[in-house]
A = this chain, B = another copy of it.
Amino acid sequence: MRRKPKQIRAKRMVDDIIQAGLQCVAKNGLEGTTTRHIADEAGVSVGTLYQYFDDKEAIYQAMIEKARDEIVQSLLAVTPQIVQIDFRSGVLAILHEFSHFLEKDKGRYLKVFQYVGHFEILEHIRVIETQLVQMASLYIMRHPDEIAPERMQVMIYIIMNSGISTLIRYLSDPAPQFSREALMEGLADMAAACIKGDA
């Protein structure tokens, strides 16, 4: 209880820097983001950045780890409800959750997800994937008749990637042609149709 204050301050500092980084990337893109920008945004000096992170890349790493963890958290939050309801409703719930995550803090996270190439997001997504597969498994155990096990892996992969990518693409679109609700319903339909899968 003695030296907690420092640790708390440090943790807050780290978080402030991460938030500033997300903010900068959201505002100026990845190329437009400099250490100076991040420092200014975080309200600290450049030097301070380097007291908490080895280099700029480390800040970026922390940023996507933060994003990944938050997604996992918010997905965990909806798990209980999901296993109770039908698959389509479950997917819809997840999509809402994910959509909410991408748009919070003025779309701070959305932009990061567009830099799939730089951030090696794919590796991090695998964590989310695992999480989703577990959720799906829970559901499928309760409804064993709805999908053949051998197709499950591929279809989960498709549903997940499709859901994530399409949502990101839609939210990044400055002038979408239809409502978000329509898209989500469509995606849920897609998912449901996939596991019915009599094709």
Contacts and interface: CB of A to CB of B under 8 A. Distances in A.
A161 B118 CA distance: 21
Nearest to A25: B117
A161 B158 contact: no
A30 B185 CA distance: 36
Task: Say how many copies of this protein the assembly contains.
Answer: 4
A187 to B, nearest CB: 6
Nearest to A126: B173
A33 B183 CA distance: 37
A70 to B, nearest CB: 19
Interface string A112-126: 001111100010000
B194 A177 contact: no
Contacts of A27: none
Contacts of A164: 165
A189 interface: yes
A192 B193 CA distance: 9
A153 B177 CA distance: 9
A140 interface: no
Given A173-B122, A197-B189, A117 B30 contact: yes
A145 interface: no
Contacts of A169: 122, 161, 165
